[in-house]
Chain A
Amino acid sequence: MLKTGPGYWLLIFVLASTVAWGIYAYVTQFRLGLGVTGLNRPVYWGFYITNFVFFVGISHAGTLISAILRLCQAEWRRPITRMAEAITVLVLFFGAGNILLDLGRPDRVLYMFIYGHLTSPLMWDCISITIYLCGSTTYLYVAMIPDLALLRDRITDWRQPIYRVLALGWHGSHEQEQRLQTAIAILAIAVIPIAVSVHTVVSWVFAMTIQPMWHSSIFGPYFVVGAIYSGIAALLLTMILLRKIYHLEDYLKEIHFEYLGELLLAMTLLWFYFTFAEYLTAFYGHEPVEMRIFWAKVSGPYAPFFWTMVATDFVIPLAILCNRVTRKIPGIAVASVSVCIGMWLERFTIVVPTLVNPRLPWARGSYTPSWVEVSLFAAFIAGFILLYAIFVKLFPIISIWEVREGREQGVAEVTERLRGYLPGESGLDQPAKAGS
């Protein structure tokens, strides 16, 4: 946070250029219309909606780690919470941004709020994501206050006024500590059902229509599982990169990757279970309309996407994560990248094949994304990394006060807790001698 090397500036330059190119692509689309994409009739949704679901999915990283692990009192979360929460907040903007890209009339986006119809799942989406965005931003901010106060006191360059304002007069008094802990606890509990509702509602945009292979009740939980899956993978990738670049080996230890790697493995299996259930059900029902889409994915034009998805979402991560030998940082890096690619493919194979094969037996479509869609996809990824890189420079990416709290209080608390689990008053009594 104190020094910036040439490598950083080069990264910023590359990312900013990609974003600039994306802006050019969008201006072209805004000027001419959505015709500059590869979308058509009947494939009305393509890259933008896929990316929307994908980015919103990744936002589940922060919630899982911060909120759930906080509530479970898992001490190992401490160095990870800040970077996870930052992912959530930033990626949500890009997720929602993809909807803006997709609108034929983005100048009318406020109509969703002025004239919103609550019968539309897209409206539920809008409400849910807005609440999630506000909630997770608040959560990130509140949990940063003690660190902002620390920066206010230590850093004296141009950034100090920012910290002073944001620190809200924190001086670490007991009363303030109590308030902070209460606020964080409330937010942590509140943000979990909100996050679950977000991706459920995103899935319902598809599931609430009567289109074949979309109209499935499994979509709600399926998307949430997929979101947590891609979220953990993205988080692991972020952790590995930050650890390497900023030499955080002391903070992000093997054990953190061990635990998150095991979580990722659990999600691999859970994802496979849901996917298998979904496709087996469709296959056994053998409805002609659904089977056309089924075969399009399994052996038809979308087979390369489908089977790559199975390989990258199940085979590769399972192989790497199932044993202790490969479940180390290099292996986890490969598995995480694989999962990110696979989850994007999963979103794509849900959105597009159904639209390509509508119910009417005589209508068939095809979809090839145009340079505009690909550029905007790249620009959004670059934009996310860019904002994240700026975040890392302005705010400590490891929660300083939480790690300190872990050292000062966590150790004692955990020891006390462990004692409570064991038999006897203090858990230190000797076991009664047999036969006495």
Chain B
Amino acid sequence: MPRWGMVIDLDRCSGCRACVVACKQENNVAPSTQEQAESSRMISWINVITVVEGDYPDTKLRLLPMLCQQCQNPPCVRVCPVGATQKSSQGIVGQIYPRCIGCRYCASACPYQVKYFNWFKPSWPRDFEHSLNPDVSVRPKGVIEKCTFCVQRLQRARDEAAFEGRKVRSEGEYIPACVESCPAKAMYFGDLDDRTTEVAHLARDSRAFRVMDELGTAPNVIYLKEST
């Protein structure tokens, strides 16, 4: 059983946010409006957080692409009263939109703040609806959504593999949109339990760390800290 995980090399991330755009396009997340930004309601399943450290001229800009950490011990799953967020056997924390009652308990409990709520019915600019991905549902108002490691791509990979009578390859066949789009090749994705994959190798690198590891959430998203 593969355990899907991601490694993000912070030495390579340039903050271009191609991953943010690719994710929104792939997963039918509407472009954020100014009003949403001002009222702190933007939805970006992946977002690049920028932190400025130090004072001029010794400032350092740190970039951290933050997405659902797909925890092995997810605080959100524990608190959902109706089971709308559940952990799959392959390590992906799923979000079931028709089940969600919109209580936002999971969003309050997530220490990474990566659960997003549809405060209104999502709306796209005119003609944008032609570019919606048919493999991903469009969410109604009042439900929570979050990064699913592009699970629709996993389903497609599974279908193709089943057609060919084999299992999904542990690396390279199933790639989320963000990983695919990264121009700096900062993101790696694959089966963390298959030691032959590059992602599993990097996950054990000396630079590897997990955000807020001390909380015991055991994320499947691993970062490689900057070497400077």
Q: Chain A: residues with CB nearer than 8 A to chain B?
A: 32-35, 39-45, 99, 102-106, 108-109, 111-112, 115-117, 119-123, 126, 205, 208-211, 355, 358-363, 365-366
Bound complex: CA A34 to CA B104 (Å): 11
State which of A104, A109, A360 has its C-beta within 8 Å of the C-beta of B100.
Answer: A104
Query: Interface residues of A: mostly helix, strand, loop or mixed?
Result: loop
Q: Chain B: residues with CB nearer than 8 A to chain A?
A: 39-42, 49, 51, 66, 75, 78-83, 99-105, 107-109, 111-113, 116-121, 140-144, 212, 215
Nearest CB of A to B44, in Å: 10
Bound complex: CA A289 to CA B28 (Å): 35
What residues on A are CB-neighbors of B109 within 8 Å? 209-211
What residues on A are CB-neighbors of B143 within 8 Å? 104-105
Inter-chain contact B79/A208, CB cutoff 8 Å: yes
Inter-chain contact B111/A358, CB cutoff 8 Å: yes
Inter-chain contact A210/B215, CB cutoff 8 Å: yes
Nearest opposing residue in chain A for B107, CB measure: A44
Inter-chain contact A122/B81, CB cutoff 8 Å: yes
Q: Known interface pairs A41-B41, A117-B82. Does A105 touch B107 (Cβ–Cβ under 8 Å)?
A: no
Among B81, B83, B143, chain A packs the most CB atoms within 10 A around the CB of B81
Bound complex: CA A116 to CA B116 (Å): 22
Nearest CB of A to B226, in Å: 16
Inter-chain contact B113/A360, CB cutoff 8 Å: yes
Nearest opposing residue in chain A for B212, CB measure: A359
List 5 tightest A-B contacts by C-beta distance, closest first.
Answer: A104-B102, A104-B142, A35-B119, A33-B141, A40-B40
Nearest CB of B to A287, in Å: 11
Inter-chain contact A117/B41, CB cutoff 8 Å: no
Bound complex: CA A366 to CA B40 (Å): 9
Inter-chain contact B142/A105, CB cutoff 8 Å: yes
State which of A40, A102, A116, A361 has its C-beta within 8 Å of the C-beta of B81.
Answer: A116
State which of A40, A42, A103 has its C-beta within 8 Å of the C-beta of B103.
Answer: A103
Inter-chain contact A34/B105, CB cutoff 8 Å: no
Nearest opposing residue in chain B for A354, CB measure: B108
Bound complex: CA A126 to CA B113 (Å): 25
Nearest CB of A to B155, in Å: 23
Would you mind naming 20 contact pairs between A and B with Cβ atoms under 8 Å apart? A34-B141, A39-B119, A40-B41, A41-B41, A41-B42, A44-B104, A44-B117, A103-B101, A104-B102, A104-B118, A105-B101, A105-B140, A109-B101, A115-B99, A117-B80, A119-B78, A120-B79, A120-B80, A120-B81, A359-B212
Inter-chain contact B78/A120, CB cutoff 8 Å: yes
What residues on A are CB-neighbors of B41 within 8 Å? 35, 40-41
Inter-chain contact A209/B142, CB cutoff 8 Å: no
State which of A40, A103, A123 has its C-beta within 8 Å of the C-beta of B39.
Answer: A40
Among B80, B99, B119, B215, chain A packs the most CB atoms within 10 A around the CB of B119
Nearest CB of A to B106, in Å: 9
Inter-chain contact B83/A117, CB cutoff 8 Å: yes
Among B51, B83, B99, B142, chain A packs the most CB atoms within 10 A around the CB of B142
Q: Known interface pairs A41-B40, A115-B83, A116-B82. Does A35 touch B120 (Cβ–Cβ under 8 Å)?
A: yes
